[in-house]
Amino acid sequence: MHIPLSLDPIFHAAPMVPEEARRTFALVQMFDRTLALPDWLAYTRSMSRKDQASGLITLKDNRGYAHAIFCWFARNSLTHGRVLRVSDVVIAGLPGREIVHAVIDAVRNCATTTKCDAIIFDLDQPIWQKHVPANMLKLRSALIDAGFSAVASEVLTLKQSLASTLHH
């Protein structure tokens, strides 16, 4: 169980707008040095369309610096109802577990807002196959601690039904 250390959250989650793409590029490039700025800008523009059930969320500190980014899609599933699928998770290397708990809280808020019945974290991403930074290991551990369960042969795709967890 995550117990906040203060009443004032350290990180604030918000949808990324295309104007923020240049400022977040350095964070994303820490995980994939081959990514070019024009490709990142095109990706953020495509994910910012208001006519689709998807987007990018950034978690920033009080100074406005981005420390995490994730992509989300809300889709209907035959087996799980409406599902929020989270991918392309990028988390800065910070001490402690506050940032990973903030990511999980932001994902749960996104699932509630989009009226999803379940969340699936897709952690099997090309950027993590190159290297697995400490905060990705912290995220996997925090997801399991938060009640997510593996739905693949490895703890890479994690799923949680929201029926019992929305009021945590």
CATH number at residue 77: 3.40.630.30
In a domain, 3, yes or no: no
How many CB atoms are closer than 10 A to CB 85?
19
pLDDT (0 to 100) of residue 18: 81
Looking up tokens 């929020």, which residue turns up?
84
In a domain, 168, yes or no: no
pLDDT (0 to 100) of residue 1: 37
In a domain, 55, yes or no: yes
The pTM assigned to this predicted structure is: 0.80
Which residue range(s) make up the domain with 38? 12-161
In a domain, 4, yes or no: no
Looking up tokens 């590029």, which residue turns up?
25
User: Distance between CA atoms of 113 and 125, rounded to whole angstroms?
Assistant: 25
User: Distance between CA atoms of 31 and 38, rounded to whole angstroms?
Assistant: 17
What is the arrangement of strands in the sheet containing 66-77, beginning at the earlier edge strand? 12-15, 54-60, 66-77, 81-91, 118-122, 157-161, 149-150
The tokens of 24 are what?
Answer: 């977040």
- pLDDT by residue for the chain (168 residues), tens only, comes to 344 444 457 899 999 988 889 999 999 888 778 889 999 999 998 887 766 789 999 999 999 899 999 999 999 988 778 899 998 888 888 777 888 889 999 999 999 899 998 888 877 665 555 555 666 777 878 888 887 776 653 334 445 565 544 434
In a domain, 46, yes or no: yes
Tell how far CA 128 is from the center of its chain.
Answer: 14
Contact 99, 11 (CB under 8 A): yes
In a domain, 2, yes or no: no
DSSP, residue by residue, 101-132? HHHHHHHHHHHHHTT-SEEEEE---HHHHH--
pLDDT (0 to 100) of residue 61: 92
Tally of domains in the chain: 1
Looking up tokens 């599902």, which residue turns up?
83
- E strands, the chain, where? 12-15, 54-60, 66-77, 81-91, 118-122, 149-150, 157-161
Do the bridges between strand 118-122 and strand 81-91 make them parallel or antiparallel, or are there none, so unpaired? parallel
